[in-house]
Structure formats: C-alpha cells, structure tokens
Amino acid sequence: MLKLWFWIYNLFLLPLVWLGFRFLSLFNSKIREGFKGRKGLFEEISNWKFEKGKPVVIIHSSSLGEYQQAIPLITELNLRGYGIAATFFSPSGFKNSKIHSADVKKCYLPFDSYPRVKHFVDTVNPYMVILMRYDLWFNFLYYSRQKNVKIIMANARYDEKDIFWKIPVINSFKKSMYRMIDKMFTIDDADFDNYRKLLKGTPVQILKAGDSKFERVFEASKNFKKEEILGKKITAGKKVFVVGSSWKDDEEVILPVIDKMSDKGYNILTVLVPHEPKETKISAIEKNIKNKYPGLSTIRYSQIAGYSGQNVIIIDSIGLLMKLYSEAYTAYIGGGFRTGLHNVLEPAVFNIPVFFANDVKNSDEDELLLENKCGILVKNMKQFYREFKLVLTNEGYYNTAANGCKSVFRNTLGTTEKIIKNITQ
C-alpha cells in the first residue's frame, strides 16, 4: 500500500498541490515569500559545516509556534553533541526563529518533490528527523526511511475536528505517512489513546511524554527580572494589568471596565499590547479611548520618557510581551473572541491570574489553566467586571489563582528529558 500511495502522490496529488500553491501565491504574500526563500536552498546547505563527527538531527517545525516548542529539544540535543538542522515550512517560522549556536543551522524544507527531497536528505545526511506536532510530507518521510533515518514525532496532538481522518481514502493516505514514523510522543492520555486506536496494527511506537511548550516558556521566564521594562517610578503603588495580543473584540470588553474602575478610584495601570502594533491600529485605539472613555489617558511606549501619570500605556513595538508579563499583577490574553487564543502560558508562568475568552478554540492550555483555577474565562463585559474586581480586591481569590499557575508548570515539566532520554539511548 505504501508503494501504491508513493505513485499516486507523485503522479497526481503532488502536481495539484504545487499548482495550488503557485496559484495562491498570486494573492498571498506569505506563500510568495516561501517560494522566494527556497531559491538557493541547496547552495546554502552545501556550505553548512558541523563540527566533525557530530551526528545531525533535522528538527522540522511548520511555523514559529512549533519551533518554540522545539527549542528545549534543540538545546538539549546540542548540549549532547548533536548538530541541528532546523527546517521550516512557513516564512513566519524561518524569519522569526533565533539561532544561538554554530552547530544549529536553519533553512526551509524544500518542496516535497522526490528529487528535491533526495538531494536535501543526501546533503544534510541526518541521523534522525524530529517532526514537531504535525506537518508530515510524504516524500520527505519516504526517502528518509529508505536511508534508514530514525523518524520521531514530538508533541503529537490528535485533532478531533480533523475531518480527513473520517474520509476513508484520505484516511488511508494519512495512515501511510504516520506508519513511516518510528516513535510518536503524545501530549496527554487522550492523544495517546486516540493515536493508539487510529494506528492500531502499524509499527509506530506511541508514548506519552507531555508538551515541551511548557518547558520553553518556563526556561524563557528565568531571563526576566521584574521592573525591567516599565520601571518602579511608573509602576509604584499601581496594579499593572497587561493586555496581551488584543483584538478589537477584546478591547470592547476590557476598556469600558477599566474606565469604570478608574472612575471608582482603582489605581490600575493598563499596558495594552495590540495583536499587530501598526500605526493605523494604534491610532484607532487612541482615538477610541479619547472619544469614549473619559477616565482613561494614553501614552505610547515609544514616548515613555515623557510619562506623566497616564493610566494606559500602548505598546508600539514588538518583542516585549513576556517581559511585561513579569511586571504584571494580572493579565488578559486576546484572540479568544475572534481568531483563536494567543499564548496563555507566558503570563501564567509568572504566577498571576490570567483572563481570556475561548469562543474560538485552538489549543488546550486554556482548559489546563481553568482546571487549576489559574485561568478565568471571560464571557462578556459584566462578567469580566465582577471577576476582575475580585482579582483586585480579594486576596484569597488572587492567591488561589497564583497557586494554580504553579501547579500547571509543576505537573508538566520534564517532557524534554523523557523524549531525549528515549531517543538517544
């Protein structure tokens, strides 16, 4: 069956995928950038030089989110004497990933034609391939197996909404790709059970290890000291409320509440971090606050030297969010009303109550926070007002949430060690 799918994929499916991407690239700048970024790929990797004798591991991430989950694995394997080739499908991962070691290289994964994949694998000559979460490509897996390269999947998450598992022909094709994996490390019991049933009768070894994302966030938090961004002169005597990655839907719930509470004398300093801090977005927020909320006054972070008591600081640059969480008394994470929730673990690691909506589901971390009473679900403006007031005034309520955050990380660390120990024995 594997050989049959090889010919069907290469003769029929892959040409359609190629034409589809080419057509979409006419309208989508990210896809165009992906094509452009792959030009000169083979010349680039032919010049790679790893320390002599080091086995090379390809760690593939679809995008930046998966790469962040891969960071603990990359770090540990690098410390153990492996060279790392970090590959990406999406430009967002390739462009925004930071490499800090000479024995960690990065590049795009080539388009999945058999000749390109063969050239790529033969040039890099990996000892092992680790796939983060998903993003399987048939020819890449197929030729790696022909070369006797170990294939591992880490942070495997079964998507119950994925209808392709329910369509017989596509199900067969997907299974043919998964059966080329040697070991799969799932996040939790539900994923373990789902994959075990789905891949019953295949040679894939399925193990439960946890989610390395928790360790990535935990390790990153150690680099931040409180008062690093805003400073004591600005935060002294105030309860700092960081609103991370906000959309208009989030702001329409939050701003009226902050305005009302400021009018009642609550000394809150709101730090608003828009999802995309573009000039048009920031100007619209400033105009909206000025016209509708008399209890709020704003200043941009780029003008913070001129701070004179404003109670809303709008962050107009990128790369500061996690540092800001380290200074926060509490936080709200945006995206849950519209596109899907942004990273709730980054504020939680600092042991503060985390507010969020989850109308649009895209992860399970929110459920984990809710189970541990670290997260507070926001449904509407009135309910947010009641819960936010409790966090500001009820010390017992606040401490329960803070202790819940500690439990979240205490119970989830150790994933990297489990995976590395297993695959390097």
* Rounded average pLDDT over 288-308: 96
Q: Are residues 213 and 237 in the same domain?
A: no
Q: Please report the DSSP string for 292-318 in residue order.
A: H-TT--EEEGGGGGG--S-SEEE--SS
Helix (H/G/I), strand (E/B), else coil: 242 = strand
For residue 141, the domain's CATH number is 3.40.50.11720
What is residue 227's predicted lDDT score, i.e. its pLDDT?
60
For residue 275, the domain's CATH number is 3.40.50.2000
252, part of any domain? yes
Q: Are residues 86 and 169 in the same domain?
A: yes
Q: What is the pLDDT of residues 50-62, one digit of tens each?
A: 887 789 999 999 9
68, part of any domain? yes
What is residue 225's predicted lDDT score, i.e. its pLDDT?
67
What is residue 362's predicted lDDT score, i.e. its pLDDT?
65
* Rounded average pLDDT over 313-324: 92
Q: Are residues 397 and 418 in the same domain?
A: no
* Rounded average pLDDT over 90-97: 89
Q: Are residues 190 and 273 in the same domain?
A: no
* Rounded average pLDDT over 329-348: 92
Residues in the chain: 425
The answer to whether residue 245 scores a pLDDT higher than 80 is yes
Q: Are residues 252 and 395 in the same domain?
A: yes
pTM here is 0.81
Q: Please report the DSSP string for 318-369 in residue order.
A: SS-HHHHHTT-SEEEE--TTTT----SHHHHTTT--EEE--SS---SHHHHH
The proportion of the chain whose per-residue pLDDT surpasses 70, expressed as a percent, equals: 99
Q: Are residues 394 and 419 in the same domain?
A: no
Q: Are residues 111 and 244 in the same domain?
A: no
Q: How far apart, in whole angstroms, are the C-alpha atoms of residue 191 and residue 378?
A: 27
What is residue 379's predicted lDDT score, i.e. its pLDDT?
95
What mean pLDDT is reported for the chain? 92
* Rounded average pLDDT over 226-251: 90
14, part of any domain? no
Reported as a pLDDT band with limits 50, 70 and 90, residue 102 is confident
21, part of any domain? no
Domain interval for residue 197 = 37-221+414-423
What is residue 10's predicted lDDT score, i.e. its pLDDT?
96
Q: How many other β-carbons are positioned within 10 Å of the β-carbon of residue 424?
A: 14
* Rounded average pLDDT over 248-253: 96
Reported as a pLDDT band with limits 50, 70 and 90, residue 265 is confident
What is residue 163's predicted lDDT score, i.e. its pLDDT?
82
The answer to whether residue 328 scores a pLDDT higher than 90 is yes
The answer to whether residue 3 scores a pLDDT higher than 70 is yes
What is residue 168's predicted lDDT score, i.e. its pLDDT?
86
357, part of any domain? yes
Q: Are residues 167 and 247 in the same domain?
A: no
Q: Which residue has the higher pLDDT, 271 or 407?
A: 271
What is residue 364's predicted lDDT score, i.e. its pLDDT?
75
Q: What is the pLDDT of residues 177-214, one digit of tens each?
A: 999 999 999 988 889 999 999 999 889 999 999 888 88
Domain total in the chain? 2
Q: How far apart, in whole angstroms, are the C-alpha atoms of residue 339 and residue 54?
A: 42
The answer to whether residue 151 scores a pLDDT higher than 70 is yes
Alpha carbon of residue 337 to chain centroid: 18
Q: Are residues 237 and 150 in the same domain?
A: no
Q: Are residues 304 and 274 in the same domain?
A: yes
324, part of any domain? yes
Reported as a pLDDT band with limits 50, 70 and 90, residue 234 is very high
What is residue 100's predicted lDDT score, i.e. its pLDDT?
79
Q: Are residues 164 and 238 in the same domain?
A: no
The answer to whether residue 1 scores a pLDDT higher than 90 is no
15, part of any domain? no
The answer to whether residue 398 scores a pLDDT higher than 90 is yes
* Rounded average pLDDT over 391-404: 95
Q: Are residues 284 and 381 in the same domain?
A: yes
13, part of any domain? no
